[in-house]
Structure 1
Amino acid sequence: MLAHAETTNREIEVDRSALAKMIMQLLDHWDLPTEDQLALLGLAPTNRSALSRYRHGDPIGVGVDQYARVGHLLGIHKNLRILFPRNKEQLYSWMKAKNKAFENRTPVEVVKEFGFTGLLMVRSYLDRARGA
Protein backbone atom coordinates (compact mmCIF):
# COMPACT_ATOMS: atom_id res chain seq x y z
CA MET A 1 0.00 0.00 0.00
CA LEU A 2 2.82 2.44 0.90
CA ALA A 3 4.66 1.67 -2.36
CA HIS A 4 1.49 2.52 -4.31
CA ALA A 5 1.15 5.85 -2.48
CA GLU A 6 4.81 6.70 -3.20
CA THR A 7 4.34 5.87 -6.88
CA THR A 8 1.21 8.02 -7.05
CA ASN A 9 3.03 10.94 -5.37
CA ARG A 10 5.89 10.67 -7.90
CA GLU A 11 3.38 10.59 -10.77
CA ILE A 12 1.64 13.70 -9.43
CA GLU A 13 4.99 15.50 -9.14
CA VAL A 14 5.87 14.54 -12.73
CA ASP A 15 2.47 15.88 -13.85
CA ARG A 16 3.07 19.12 -11.96
CA SER A 17 6.52 19.38 -13.59
CA ALA A 18 5.01 18.93 -17.05
CA LEU A 19 2.36 21.50 -16.18
CA ALA A 20 5.05 23.98 -15.10
CA LYS A 21 6.93 23.57 -18.38
CA MET A 22 3.69 23.85 -20.35
CA ILE A 23 2.58 27.07 -18.67
CA MET A 24 6.04 28.62 -19.04
CA GLN A 25 6.00 27.79 -22.75
CA LEU A 26 2.59 29.45 -23.03
CA LEU A 27 3.79 32.58 -21.22
CA ASP A 28 6.80 32.67 -23.56
CA HIS A 29 4.48 32.44 -26.59
CA TRP A 30 2.51 35.36 -25.19
CA ASP A 31 5.85 37.23 -24.99
CA LEU A 32 5.05 38.76 -21.63
CA PRO A 33 7.57 40.52 -19.41
CA THR A 34 8.60 38.75 -16.22
CA GLU A 35 6.47 41.09 -14.09
CA ASP A 36 3.34 40.12 -16.04
CA GLN A 37 4.16 36.41 -15.93
CA LEU A 38 4.49 36.59 -12.16
CA ALA A 39 1.19 38.48 -11.87
CA LEU A 40 -0.69 35.95 -14.00
CA LEU A 41 0.61 33.14 -11.80
CA GLY A 42 -0.23 35.04 -8.62
CA LEU A 43 3.40 35.20 -7.55
CA ALA A 44 5.12 38.10 -5.80
CA PRO A 45 7.00 40.49 -8.11
CA THR A 46 10.18 39.56 -6.25
CA ASN A 47 9.77 35.81 -6.91
CA ARG A 48 11.56 35.75 -10.27
CA SER A 49 13.39 32.58 -9.28
CA ALA A 50 10.11 30.62 -9.39
CA LEU A 51 9.81 31.25 -13.12
CA SER A 52 13.33 29.95 -13.67
CA ARG A 53 12.62 26.87 -11.56
CA TYR A 54 9.41 26.16 -13.50
CA ARG A 55 11.25 26.55 -16.80
CA HIS A 56 13.70 23.90 -15.63
CA GLY A 57 10.95 21.48 -14.69
CA ASP A 58 10.42 22.08 -11.00
CA PRO A 59 6.82 21.17 -10.17
CA ILE A 60 4.24 23.95 -10.14
CA GLY A 61 3.14 24.94 -6.65
CA VAL A 62 0.57 22.80 -4.90
CA GLY A 63 -1.44 25.75 -3.64
CA VAL A 64 -5.05 25.82 -4.80
CA ASP A 65 -4.72 29.42 -6.06
CA GLN A 66 -1.75 28.73 -8.29
CA TYR A 67 -3.17 25.45 -9.56
CA ALA A 68 -6.46 27.19 -10.40
CA ARG A 69 -4.62 30.06 -12.11
CA VAL A 70 -2.72 27.62 -14.31
CA GLY A 71 -5.97 25.90 -15.22
CA HIS A 72 -7.59 29.21 -16.16
CA LEU A 73 -4.55 30.32 -18.17
CA LEU A 74 -4.67 27.06 -20.13
CA GLY A 75 -8.44 27.56 -20.57
CA ILE A 76 -7.79 31.05 -21.94
CA HIS A 77 -5.27 29.61 -24.37
CA LYS A 78 -7.73 26.91 -25.46
CA ASN A 79 -10.39 29.55 -26.11
CA LEU A 80 -7.95 31.67 -28.10
CA ARG A 81 -6.95 28.64 -30.21
CA ILE A 82 -10.62 28.03 -31.00
CA LEU A 83 -11.30 31.71 -31.77
CA PHE A 84 -8.15 32.25 -33.87
CA PRO A 85 -7.33 28.84 -35.37
CA ARG A 86 -5.41 30.23 -38.34
CA ASN A 87 -4.02 33.44 -36.90
CA LYS A 88 -1.05 32.71 -34.62
CA GLU A 89 -0.16 36.39 -34.39
CA GLN A 90 -3.55 37.25 -32.90
CA LEU A 91 -3.58 34.05 -30.84
CA TYR A 92 -0.36 34.99 -29.09
CA SER A 93 -0.79 38.79 -28.96
CA TRP A 94 -4.39 38.87 -27.66
CA MET A 95 -3.39 38.99 -23.98
CA LYS A 96 -1.40 42.19 -24.63
CA ALA A 97 -3.95 43.90 -26.90
CA LYS A 98 -6.27 46.60 -25.61
CA ASN A 99 -9.87 45.43 -25.56
CA LYS A 100 -13.05 47.52 -25.42
CA ALA A 101 -14.69 44.81 -23.32
CA PHE A 102 -12.15 45.61 -20.60
CA GLU A 103 -12.52 49.40 -20.84
CA ASN A 104 -9.64 49.60 -23.31
CA ARG A 105 -7.25 47.70 -21.02
CA THR A 106 -5.35 44.60 -21.99
CA PRO A 107 -6.37 41.26 -20.47
CA VAL A 108 -3.03 41.20 -18.63
CA GLU A 109 -3.79 44.62 -17.14
CA VAL A 110 -7.18 43.32 -15.99
CA VAL A 111 -5.53 40.40 -14.20
CA LYS A 112 -2.89 42.66 -12.66
CA GLU A 113 -5.56 45.06 -11.40
CA PHE A 114 -8.14 42.56 -10.16
CA GLY A 115 -5.99 39.51 -9.38
CA PHE A 116 -7.73 36.14 -9.49
CA THR A 117 -11.07 37.86 -10.17
CA GLY A 118 -9.50 39.53 -13.22
CA LEU A 119 -8.33 36.16 -14.48
CA LEU A 120 -11.89 34.88 -14.14
CA MET A 121 -13.18 37.96 -15.99
CA VAL A 122 -10.86 37.30 -18.94
CA ARG A 123 -11.66 33.58 -19.00
CA SER A 124 -15.42 34.23 -18.80
CA TYR A 125 -15.25 36.79 -21.59
CA LEU A 126 -13.53 34.26 -23.86
CA ASP A 127 -15.89 31.46 -22.83
CA ARG A 128 -18.81 33.64 -23.93
CA ALA A 129 -17.03 34.75 -27.12
CA ARG A 130 -16.66 31.17 -28.28
CA GLY A 131 -20.15 30.21 -27.17
CA ALA A 132 -19.18 27.91 -24.31
Structure 2
Amino acid sequence: MHVIAKTREPAQITAVALKAYARIADAWALSVREAAGLADMSESTWKRARKPDFAGELTKDQLLRLSAVIGIYKSLELFFSDPLARSWFTRPNAGPLFGGSRPIDAAVEGGLPQILAIRTYLDALRGGA
Protein backbone atom coordinates (compact mmCIF):
# COMPACT_ATOMS: atom_id res chain seq x y z
CA MET A 1 0.00 0.00 0.00
CA HIS A 2 2.79 2.41 0.85
CA VAL A 3 4.41 1.84 -2.57
CA ILE A 4 1.17 2.71 -4.38
CA ALA A 5 0.87 6.00 -2.53
CA LYS A 6 4.44 6.88 -3.40
CA THR A 7 3.95 6.23 -7.11
CA ARG A 8 0.76 8.29 -7.36
CA GLU A 9 1.82 11.18 -5.18
CA PRO A 10 4.39 12.78 -7.51
CA ALA A 11 1.98 12.72 -10.46
CA GLN A 12 -0.75 14.34 -8.37
CA ILE A 13 1.62 16.95 -7.01
CA THR A 14 2.89 17.71 -10.51
CA ALA A 15 -0.64 18.05 -11.90
CA VAL A 16 -1.75 20.42 -9.13
CA ALA A 17 1.43 22.51 -9.32
CA LEU A 18 1.25 22.83 -13.10
CA LYS A 19 -2.44 23.76 -13.03
CA ALA A 20 -1.81 26.49 -10.45
CA TYR A 21 1.29 27.72 -12.28
CA ALA A 22 -0.58 27.88 -15.62
CA ARG A 23 -3.26 30.02 -13.97
CA ILE A 24 -0.62 32.33 -12.53
CA ALA A 25 1.20 32.61 -15.86
CA ASP A 26 -2.12 33.61 -17.44
CA ALA A 27 -2.98 36.05 -14.62
CA TRP A 28 0.42 37.72 -15.01
CA ALA A 29 0.14 37.60 -18.82
CA LEU A 30 3.53 35.88 -19.13
CA SER A 31 4.69 34.97 -22.59
CA VAL A 32 5.40 31.32 -23.38
CA ARG A 33 9.10 32.18 -23.20
CA GLU A 34 8.78 33.86 -19.78
CA ALA A 35 6.61 31.11 -18.28
CA ALA A 36 8.94 28.40 -19.59
CA GLY A 37 12.04 30.22 -18.35
CA LEU A 38 10.59 30.80 -14.91
CA ALA A 39 9.74 27.09 -14.63
CA ASP A 40 13.14 26.07 -16.08
CA MET A 41 11.59 24.30 -19.06
CA SER A 42 11.96 24.57 -22.79
CA GLU A 43 9.11 26.39 -24.51
CA SER A 44 7.94 23.15 -26.12
CA THR A 45 7.91 21.36 -22.75
CA TRP A 46 5.94 24.22 -21.18
CA LYS A 47 3.37 24.07 -23.98
CA ARG A 48 2.91 20.34 -23.27
CA ALA A 49 3.06 20.75 -19.47
CA ARG A 50 0.22 23.24 -19.35
CA LYS A 51 -2.20 20.72 -20.85
CA PRO A 52 -4.27 18.66 -18.36
CA ASP A 53 -3.09 15.30 -19.78
CA PHE A 54 0.63 16.04 -19.30
CA ALA A 55 2.30 12.85 -18.08
CA GLY A 56 5.86 14.10 -17.71
CA GLU A 57 7.73 14.50 -14.46
CA LEU A 58 9.19 17.61 -12.94
CA THR A 59 12.55 17.85 -11.26
CA LYS A 60 12.81 18.87 -7.61
CA ASP A 61 14.16 22.23 -8.81
CA GLN A 62 11.14 22.75 -11.06
CA LEU A 63 8.70 21.82 -8.29
CA LEU A 64 10.45 24.20 -5.90
CA ARG A 65 10.27 26.95 -8.51
CA LEU A 66 6.55 26.41 -9.02
CA SER A 67 5.94 26.32 -5.28
CA ALA A 68 7.88 29.54 -4.76
CA VAL A 69 6.05 31.25 -7.64
CA ILE A 70 2.72 30.23 -6.11
CA GLY A 71 3.91 31.81 -2.85
CA ILE A 72 4.94 34.98 -4.72
CA TYR A 73 1.52 35.12 -6.35
CA LYS A 74 -0.24 34.73 -2.98
CA SER A 75 1.89 37.45 -1.40
CA LEU A 76 1.20 39.85 -4.26
CA GLU A 77 -2.54 39.17 -4.10
CA LEU A 78 -2.54 39.85 -0.34
CA PHE A 79 -0.23 42.86 -0.40
CA PHE A 80 -1.45 44.82 -3.45
CA SER A 81 -4.76 45.65 -5.08
CA ASP A 82 -5.69 43.73 -8.20
CA PRO A 83 -4.17 45.74 -11.06
CA LEU A 84 -0.81 46.07 -9.33
CA ALA A 85 -0.86 42.52 -7.95
CA ARG A 86 -1.29 41.18 -11.49
CA SER A 87 1.33 43.41 -13.11
CA TRP A 88 3.99 43.71 -10.36
CA PHE A 89 6.02 40.73 -11.57
CA THR A 90 6.32 42.14 -15.11
CA ARG A 91 6.90 45.82 -14.31
CA PRO A 92 10.31 47.44 -13.90
CA ASN A 93 11.21 47.60 -10.21
CA ALA A 94 13.76 49.79 -8.48
CA GLY A 95 13.78 47.54 -5.40
CA PRO A 96 17.05 46.11 -4.05
CA LEU A 97 16.66 42.73 -5.77
CA PHE A 98 15.90 44.14 -9.21
CA GLY A 99 17.94 47.27 -9.91
CA GLY A 100 15.34 48.61 -12.33
CA SER A 101 14.73 45.34 -14.14
CA ARG A 102 11.47 43.42 -14.08
CA PRO A 103 11.12 40.77 -11.35
CA ILE A 104 10.32 38.14 -14.02
CA ASP A 105 13.64 38.86 -15.75
CA ALA A 106 15.58 38.74 -12.47
CA ALA A 107 13.85 35.47 -11.56
CA VAL A 108 14.54 33.78 -14.89
CA GLU A 109 18.16 34.95 -14.92
CA GLY A 110 18.84 34.18 -11.25
CA GLY A 111 17.00 30.85 -11.17
CA LEU A 112 15.73 29.20 -8.02
CA PRO A 113 17.90 31.24 -5.59
CA GLN A 114 16.53 34.51 -7.01
CA ILE A 115 12.94 33.21 -7.08
CA LEU A 116 13.27 32.27 -3.40
CA ALA A 117 14.82 35.67 -2.63
CA ILE A 118 11.84 37.39 -4.28
CA ARG A 119 9.43 35.29 -2.25
CA THR A 120 11.30 36.12 0.98
CA TYR A 121 11.34 39.81 0.01
CA LEU A 122 7.57 39.85 -0.54
CA ASP A 123 6.89 37.87 2.61
CA ALA A 124 8.93 40.45 4.54
CA LEU A 125 6.97 43.32 2.96
CA ARG A 126 3.70 41.60 3.74
CA GLY A 127 4.80 40.90 7.30
CA GLY A 128 5.94 44.47 7.83
CA ALA A 129 9.55 43.46 8.39
TM-score between both structures, scaled by the size of structure 1: 0.83
Match of 2:16 in 1: 18
Q: Give the ranges of 4+ consecutive aligned residues of structure 1 lying more than 4 Å apart after TM superposition.
A: none
Structure 2 residues not aligned, in runs of 5+: none
Q: Secondary structure at the match of 2:47?
A: helix
What fraction of aligned residue pairs are identical, expressed as a percent? 28
Rate the CA distance shift 1:12–1:112 in 2: closer, same or farther, 3 A: closer
User: How many Å apart are 1:8 and its aligned residue?
Assistant: 4.4
In structure 1, distance between residues paired with 2:48 and 2:36:
13
In structure 2, distance between residues paired with 1:14 and 1:53:
16
Q: Does 1:113 align with 2:109?
A: yes
Does the aligned pair in 2 maintain the 1:97–1:107 contact within 8 Å? Answer: yes
Match of 1:122 in 2: 118
Pairwise CA RMSD: 1.9
User: How many Å apart are 1:107 and its aligned residue?
Assistant: 0.4
Paired amino acid for 1:53: R
User: How many Å apart are 1:17 and its aligned residue?
Assistant: 1.1
In structure 1, distance between residues paired with 2:119 and 2:90:
15
Does the aligned pair in 2 maintain the 1:76–1:123 contact within 8 Å? Answer: yes
Rate the CA distance shift 1:89–1:15 in 2: closer, same or farther, 3 A: same
Match of 2:75 in 1: 79
TM-score between both structures, scaled by the size of structure 2: 0.84
Match of 2:91 in 1: 97
Paired amino acid for 2:108: K
Q: Does 1:30 align with 2:28?
A: yes
User: How many Å apart are 1:53 and its aligned residue?
Assistant: 1.9
